[in-house]
Amino acid sequence: MTDSVIDSCLEERFGWISLDFVNTCVVTRSGPVDALRSPALLFQWMEHAEPPGWTSLKPADISAQRTLHIEALNLRVVLDQLFTAHVAGHNPKTTTEHALGRPISWTLASSRLGHSERGTLLVENRYAPLHAAAALGPIAQNAVELIQSVDPARLRRCAAHLCLRWFVDTSKGGRRGWCSMATCGNRAKAARYRARQERDTAEA
Ligand SMILES: [Zn+2]
């Protein structure tokens, strides 16, 4: 069970790296499972999700990996507070803002004009670490970009019982309720089906 939850966290994408990151704690039938609960699991997730600059910013030794882990768990809480404030229509608390600004200052970024594989122009961003947990900088930056560009009404927490995952509703009608159809959506459908079956049996 636990391994499959971690696998699904590695596979699922929410269109924003900051959402992928904040959604790494999953509620299952047997309780919450944290896909980032150890430095090794966090490293595995980062290798797979590849946030911008990861190859240049990844920590080289065990002690830096531990620092990255502690800071990652902090950042995940901070992003949750940031998104909650955005949806509620107010500015984040000063403490949230301060905690969000720390990782952003840990990377040194520079840009240059380059070419894609197809030969079209693109801006290449390069990153250099100023801190053991510098790899979190681009994730924090991505969260700021998200609240700048996503309508608060379209940023939503999953409607499933106990699920805390966030998603951006890009559906036409804007009425999507679940973080993922594959997990929460199907579970809710199955629960509704069971309830209907029980009701029909009771009435028969
Ligand atoms: Zn969900």
Which structural domain range is residue 142 located in?
2-155+163-168
Q: Which helix H or strand E contains 155, and what residues bound it?
A: strand 155-157
Ligand 1 centroid to 29 CA: how many Å?
12
Beta bridge pairs of residue 123: 113
> What confidence score (pLDDT) does residue 90 get?
93
> What confidence score (pLDDT) does residue 196 get?
86
Listed as ranges, residues in the chain with pLDDT below 50 are: 1
Spatial separation of the C-alpha atoms in residues 124 and 64, rounded to whole Å: 26
Considering the domain boundaries, does residue 186 fall inside one? Answer: no
Question: Counting Cβ atoms within 10 Å, is residue 9 exposed (0-12), middle (13-18) or buried (19+)?
Answer: buried
> What confidence score (pLDDT) does residue 2 get?
58
∠ Cα 102 107 113 (to 5°): 140
Whichever domain contains 116, its CATH number is 1.10.3300
> What confidence score (pLDDT) does residue 114 get?
94
State how beta strands 25-28 and 31-34 pair. antiparallel
Structural domains of the chain, count? 1
**Mind listing the pLDDT tens digit for each residue in 27-62?**
777 778 899 999 999 999 999 999 999 999 999 999
Considering the domain boundaries, does residue 67 fall inside one? Answer: yes
Residue 148 main-chain phi, psi, to 5 deg? -70, -35
Ligand 1 centroid to 33 CA: how many Å?
13
Question: Chain-wide mean pLDDT for the chain?
Answer: 91
Residue the block writes with tokens 């693109």: 122
**Percent of the chain topping pLDDT 70:** 98
Considering the domain boundaries, does residue 52 fall inside one? Answer: yes
Give residue 41's identity as a one-letter amino acid code. L
* DSSP labels, 5-26: HHHHHHH---SSHHHHHHT-EE
Spatial separation of the C-alpha atoms in residues 29 and 59, rounded to whole Å: 34
Considering the domain boundaries, does residue 202 fall inside one? Answer: no
Considering the domain boundaries, does residue 173 fall inside one? Answer: no
Ligand 1 centroid to 161 CA: how many Å?
8
Ligand 1 centroid to 121 CA: how many Å?
38
Spatial separation of the C-alpha atoms in residues 200 and 192, rounded to whole Å: 12
DSSP state of 153: G
